[in-house]
Amino acid sequence: MMASSSSSSSPEIEIVSDSNDPANSSEKANRIDIIDVYTASAYGDLQKLKSFVEQDKDRVSLSTPDGNGYYALQWAALNNFADIMLYIIDHGGDVNAADNTKQTALHWAAVRGSIAAADVLLLNGARVEASDMNGFRAVHVAAQYGQTSLLNHIVAKYGADFDAPDNEGRSPLHWAAYKGFTDTVRLLLFRDASQERQDKQGCTPLHWGALTGNVETCAVLVHAGTKEELMVKDNAGVTPAQLASDKGHQHVALFLSNAQRAYAKSREEKGLIGRLSGIGYAPILFSIVCISTILFINSVMFAPNLPKITAVLGLWGWTAVSSALAALVMFHRCSSKDPGYISKSAKLSDHHIKEEDQLVKFDINNFSGLTGNWSQLCPTCKILRPVRSKHCPICKHCIDQFDHHCPWISNCVGKRNKWDFFVFLCLGTLTSILAAFVSIERIRTVTPWGGLQLMIVNHPGVVALLGMDALIFIASTTLTIIQASQIGRNLTTNEVANAGRYTYLRGPDGKFRNPYNRGFRKNCTDFLIHGHTSDAPHHKQHLHI
């Protein structure tokens, strides 16, 4: 059971299955006749294997292949029967014996990620860089089948070349991108596998990801790369975006096209214009709030063509001004404050590093708790990030409890500034309501209802204020309601938008399940007291990432 590739422009994986399933191999062994050393090895029946060898030593050999050219050691390696493999090796089995396609037992172990089998083979002299007739090494096979744990294991422990090309110039990263195994892609990028490598057809890993239309894989490649890969053309003169479009993967084509345009624009924008474009919309929003406040004071509170303001209305007016000034303070805080950057340089020996930062720095070659947590690897920051964090390609940081990147504050919203952001939204809503109320009350007595033209002529400042106020009210109220709803459920905007991608938000039945929801009251209390909701799962169960 091995992988083979065609050399056409549209690569294919062909799998020849022996119909074995290691999950219930013992059950199958009871139902299927064990007739020789090969079936005994395939189904893990050590007693029968021993009996075959010991009863007919002259005719039974563990170093010869079966009728199809496959060795007993390959069958045992496929199904991860380490005890069977040790017995075969002790009785003449060759760890480097190759079948008709030149694949060894290590290739077969890589198909199902049999780490124990790979250890037995490599500790007994198997060649980790052995290649088959297609130039596939164990790292290629592991990438083709998404066996991320085994791939990392043989690279970390036995020094396997994770960037080696096959006969067509394709690296494990090409294969992982083509098959859509995003975790494997993350691991290879984390280890600095080359994204620029082009195979004999001129295709990069991004071309291969675009070919099969896996948007998540393409997103990881784009965000972790230099963006130059977006512009690379294969031998046919096609970019990844064009390839995705030609294959009918419009969602991937749109993503890549947008990224390509953004990259081209960033290269064109230099000097002052380039620096200004990187600031975002924060100066615009700041200006709108300031202008609205000044207009309110000049055109509503102290307008010469309006009656003297009453004490009650004046109180509400100055309350609106105070609320606007408080909103500006919170705007500055959530724009300039660290949203929850996860340190790239935290060291366990640095006592001044916060505890949450100490948890992310690790050695990938020696980190025993990594298996199963591949989605937490950040190939850009080179850290193991917390579960609810995400890398922001705009801020170029991993953000703890990432909510979203807000261009209007030119900053991310995360664990450390979400409280400031929410208060800013609430103050914006309150200010817009008070300003509208006071403005309407001020002109109601001097302008008849329906006299819009008269109002525009006599009170243009009030009209302009109400127009901007309406925009602020709609935006701030909508965002306040959305954020309040998510805080009450202990969810982030990112989690709501990408719930289908995160396995920790799905229960055993595959349906949506939020392990962080501790009830509306508790979630809101935590947020108001601590500034963020709890990251601890409510139900004591392991999170499968």
Q: Which pLDDT tens digit goes with each residue over 35-53?
A: 889 999 999 999 999 988 8
Q: What is the pLDDT of residue 506?
A: 84
Q: What is the pLDDT of residue 335?
A: 94
What are the structural domain ranges in the chain? 3-194, 200-269, 282-338+415-530
pLDDT band at 369 (very low <50, low <70, confident <90, very high): low
Q: Which amino acid is at 126?
A: A
Any idea which residue has 């209007």 for tokens?
Answer: 408
Q: What is the pLDDT of residue 4?
A: 38
pLDDT digits (tens, 9 = 90+) for 152-184: 999 999 999 999 999 999 999 999 999 999 999
CATH class of 200-269: mainly alpha
Question: Do 200-269 and 282-338+415-530 show the same overall fold?
Answer: no
Q: Which helix (H) or strand (E) holds 391?
A: strand 390-392
pLDDT band at 363 (very low <50, low <70, confident <90, very high): low
Q: What is the pLDDT of residue 366?
A: 63
Q: What is the pLDDT of residue 14?
A: 36
Phi, psi angle pair for 384, to nearest 5°: -100, 105
DSSP state of 385: -
DSSP H helices, 225-337, are: 240-246, 250-268, 271-277, 282-296, 311-336
Q: Summarize the confidence of residues 377-382 as an average pLDDT.
A: 85
Q: What is the pLDDT of residue 22?
A: 45
Classify residue 8 by burial, with Cβ atoms within 10 Å: 0-12, 13-18, 19+. exposed
395 belongs to the catalytic site: no
Most confident of 184-198, 336-350, 507-521: 184-198
Q: Summarize the confidence of residues 81-102 as an average pLDDT.
A: 94
Q: How far apart are CA 67 and CA 53, in angstroms?
A: 18
Contacts of 45 (CB under 8 A, 6+ apart): 29, 34
Q: Which amino acid is at 470?
A: A
Phi, psi angle pair for 5, to nearest 5°: -125, 145
Residue 300 CA from chain centroid, whole number: 50
Check pLDDT > 70 for residue 115: yes
Q: Which residue has the higher pLDDT, 373 or 410?
A: 410
Q: How many CB atoms lie within 10 A of CB 182?
A: 24
At the topology level, CATH places domain 282-338+415-530 in: Butyryl-CoA Dehydrogenase, subunit A; domain 3 (1.20.140)
Phi, psi angle pair for 29, to nearest 5°: -60, -30
Q: What is the pLDDT of residue 375?
A: 81
Phi, psi angle pair for 37, to nearest 5°: -70, -25
Q: Which amino acid is at 72?
A: A
> Residues of 149-180 as b/e, b for ≥16 C-beta within 10 angstroms?
bbbbbbbbbbebebebbbebebbbbbbbbbbb
CATH class of 3-194: mainly alpha
Q: Summarize the confidence of residues 487-493 as an average pLDDT.
A: 95
Check pLDDT > 80 for residue 222: yes
Least confident span in 104-118, 252-266, 366-380, 520-534? 366-380
Q: Summarize the confidence of residues 353-381 as an average pLDDT.
A: 61
CB 84 within 8 A of CB 125: no
pLDDT, averaged across the chain: 84
Q: Which residue has the higher pLDDT, 278 or 520?
A: 520
Q: Which two tokens stand for residue 538?
A: 């409510």
Helix 82-90 and helix 46-55: axis angle, to 10°?
A: 20
Check pLDDT > 80 for residue 273: no
Q: Which residue has the higher pLDDT, 178 or 278?
A: 178
13-15 vs 390-392, strand pairing mode: unpaired
Classify residue 304 by burial, with Cβ atoms within 10 Å: 0-12, 13-18, 19+. exposed
383-384 vs 377-378, strand pairing mode: antiparallel
Q: What is the pLDDT of residue 264?
A: 80
pLDDT band at 386 (very low <50, low <70, confident <90, very high): confident
pLDDT band at 93 (very low <50, low <70, confident <90, very high): very high
Which is the catalytic residue, given 334, 381, 392, 406?
406
User: Cα torsion at 158, 164, 168, 169 (round to 10°)?
Assistant: 170
pLDDT band at 31 (very low <50, low <70, confident <90, very high): low
Q: What is the pLDDT of residue 205?
A: 96
First and final C-alpha spacing in the chain: 29
Q: Summarize the confidence of residues 452-478 as an average pLDDT.
A: 84
Any idea which residue has 């294991």 for tokens?
Answer: 153
pLDDT digits (tens, 9 = 90+) for 45-89: 999 999 888 887 657 788 899 989 999 999 999 999 999 999 999
Residue 6 CA from chain centroid, whole number: 30
pLDDT digits (tens, 9 = 90+) for 401-411: 999 999 999 99
Q: Which two tokens stand for residue 384?
A: 């193991």
Q: Summarize the confidence of residues 104-124 as an average pLDDT.
A: 96
